[in-house]
Structures are given as C-alpha cells and as structure tokens.
Amino acid sequence: MSDKQRTIKKAVSLSGVGLHTGKPVTITFNPAEENHWFKFQRVDIEGHPIIDADVDLVVDTSRGTTLEKNGVRVHTTEHVLAALMGLGIDNCMIQVTGPEMPIMDGSSLKFIEALESVGVVEQESERDYFELTENLTFEDTVKKVEMLAVPQDDFRLTVMVDYGSEVLGTQHASMYNIAEFKQEIAPCRTFVFLRELEALLAHNLIKGGDLDNAIVLVDSELPKDKLDHLRKVFNKPDVEVKGRGVLNNTKLRFFNEPARHKLLDIVGDLALVGKPMKIHVLAARPGHAGNVDFAKKLKALAKKQKIEKDYPKVDLNAAPVLNIMDIMKLLPHRQPMLLVDKIMEYSDNHVIGVKNVTLNEEFFKGHFPGNPVMPGVFLIEAMAQCGGVLVLKTVTDPENYLTYFIKIDGVKFRQQVIPGDTVVFSLNLVTPIRRGICHMRGIAYVQNKPVMEAEMMAQIVKVKNIEVKNTEPQLA
C-alpha cells in the first residue's frame, strides 16, 4: 500500500436506523483535504456542527463509542471508523442526518461496500504513522482488561475474549495486517447475550435492534413466555432457540465471529488516536471503555513523539551562522527591541534563532517585576524577527528594507518564559516567498518543550535612506 494519504473519489450515501434510537438516518462519506483525518458533521442541526474523531471528545462508552463537541453528539461511531481505517483511508468528512450511525447489519461490511463503490484516490502528502520504539501497556483490574502495544511494521491485532459463558467460551482472533480487515474482520457482527438484551429492552433501548443486525447468544433455555415476548418485540413469529446457542439459530459467518467483532471495535476506537499506525496490539477481554483509555495513552505518546520530532536538532553550544553583530546588519531593530541573539540555521525555507532571556530585559521592569514573565507579545516579536532574517536574506541590500506584519494567526501560549530561559525559535515557510510576502509558521521551545506557536505573514518594503537609531517605528 502506498504511503501517500488517501481519500475517496466522490461522495457516497447509505441509509439505515440507529441501533438504540431506532430513528432513520442517512450517512454520507465525503472526500476531504489532506491532513483532515475523520470528522463527523451533523447536517440535521443548524450550523451543521462538526465533531472531530478524537479520543479526547469521547463522553460515553456504555453502548458504543459516543463523541461530543460543544454539546452536540454522535453515537456508535466505531463501525464507521473501522471501515475507513480498514480501507486505508486517511481523510473523510462523515455527514449524518441524526445523532446515531446506522447499525446496518451490525458490522462494517455495508460501509466498506459503499466506500469501495466510489473508489479511493491518492493525495500528495505522505502518511504520518504512529510507531513505537518500546512497549506500552494498559490494565483495568476491575474489568480484567489487559492491552499491550508493541513495535511492528504494520497495524496488527490479536484479541482474546472470555465472558465466562459456556456458549461463547474463550475465543481468539487475529489480524496480521490492515489489508486483511475487509475480508476477515469487516463482516463480523456485533453480539449480545440474551440476558443483556432483556435489560436493554426494559430500558427502552435498542429500538433499532433486529435479529438481522446482531448475534444474540443464549446461555440458558428460554421459557415459552419469553420467546413469545421476543417474537412480539422483533416482529418475528419464527423466533426460536434450541437449547443453548444463538437465538433463531443464526448462522455465524466465522466460528469466532464474536472475537473478530471485538477486534473490529478496537480498529474503530483506535482511529480516535488521529493517525494510521504501525503497531501490534494484543488485547484480552477488550471493550469500548478499555479501548478508549488505551487510545488516550497512545495519543499522549504520539503527541510527545511529535514534539520531540519537531524540536529542531540544534547544538546551542555550536558557533552561530549569524551572531548579534551580523543580525544588526540585517535588522533595523536596536535595544531594547532587538530580541534575537543569534541565528543557528537558515535555508531558503526555514530559520532557527535563539533568544537568551535575562532579568536585565527592559520589559521586566514593568511586566510583573515581582514575578517576571516574558510578555507574549514580545515572544511574537522575537519570532517575527527570526522570520525577518529569513526574508531579508533573499534580497541583496537588506539594509534598505523594513519588515511589516500583515497577519498573525493561530497564536498559542503553552508555558511561561522566565529569566534564565533560552528560547529556540523554529520557523518554516508555509508558502514560497513571493513579491516580498513571507508566510511562516513557527514554534518557540524552552528545554525541548513548546512554549508558543503562531502563523504569521509579513511583507518587506523597500525604504530609501533608512537611518538606524536607538528608537524606531513599530516593526515586526
């Protein structure tokens, strides 16, 4: 499989009912841009709110995986997300006309078929895989759930289920790579014990339940009155079970279909980490709650890995490519507004600069002098000055140019910067410099941890007879 990101060629819809609400719902899979991942959109609500497929948005795992954002929910998302993951799709907007995904036949098969009917297209960006360098464990001693992720060169799963039932017994299922999902895992239906089904019916749930969209396991013989009740509920006059086994003698698609469905659920729930994976997950007695807790651990590790990956590999003890005197030849800024001490790297599309923060900074005299913190606006200014070095290196006479802000976006302050800190600014061009306009995205680090980030746009303007003094106009 290619390592390029993928989306579907065109939109495709299918309709069904929600398992618990019983309400009709139409789901539409739409192509999405690169680095979009999966998002749900409630088109039945004013403003068409969007809920990201993000483990941090999970609010309920009791009857499937429910996501909520700004008070808007989508229920039973796991079978839909598993289908997307199983086909190696990276980006999709999933529009729904109600709060719950259609249950279809209780598996991911119908979603797989719909997605395959429109085809998949490669995009330009490379996939960003989540990978492990060491084992990661999770355990829920109350529910007896155990999960382990180990390094692997593909997405592999091994599952064991044991519900203490003679009917179900202990089952195992494996998926050696994601290419097996379509044939070996996607057709496997959800299952429920009859004793659980009766409790759900008593609470007015599974209104969309049907003997065609779930396997009902029976581990004790049913009296006639219970059979009559089930016939009425499901409007199925031929409901029967011969001793223990499967209600209505439903033919299993695989001898271990329940274990395979648990594997399907894990694929869907781990999609909430937000990226494709190259790991081997081993799970004992998994459920949605454990899957989600484990996904949170994986996402936290993925975030840590990204920070470490993005942190510029720069030796602060090495000689700079531009020292303070070199910088002063490029920038018109002077104390107290010259906020870059040295440039460690620069190329046609990136720059790395350094600011050593001391208690002698002018701004500390008036900004929390009893508890000095570098003002956020000065962090932005220092970052912009690093970007100014990058753009001014593109002209032959930088002393005749000034740099002005056009726009600042996406500014986030993550940690205080205090005296004694060394701030490393890493900036990359978002788009090539054209007509003196520079569009950059930067992250500021202290001790390898992000403290600030921003996206900014600036323009260099040629000005004749610039005279550098100790005071200056407001410049980026």
Q: Which residues are catalytic, by number?
A: 288, 367
Cβ pair 269, 138 in contact under 8 A = no
Distance CA 278, CA 155 (A): 5
Distance CA 408, CA 416 (A): 20
User: Nearest-5° angle of CA 270, CA 78, CA 106?
Assistant: 140
CA distance 236 to 453: 60
CA atoms within 13 A on the CB side of 278: 14
Q: Which two tokens stand for residue 438?
A: 């520079």
Task: Say if residues 87 and 63 touch (Cβ distance below 8 Å).
Answer: no
Give the span between the Cα atoms of 219 and 333, in whole angstroms.
80
DSSP E strands: which ranges in 49-176?
50-52, 58-60, 66-69, 72-74, 92-96, 120-126, 130-131, 136-140, 145-151, 156-162, 170-175
With tokens 């390094």, the residue in question is 151
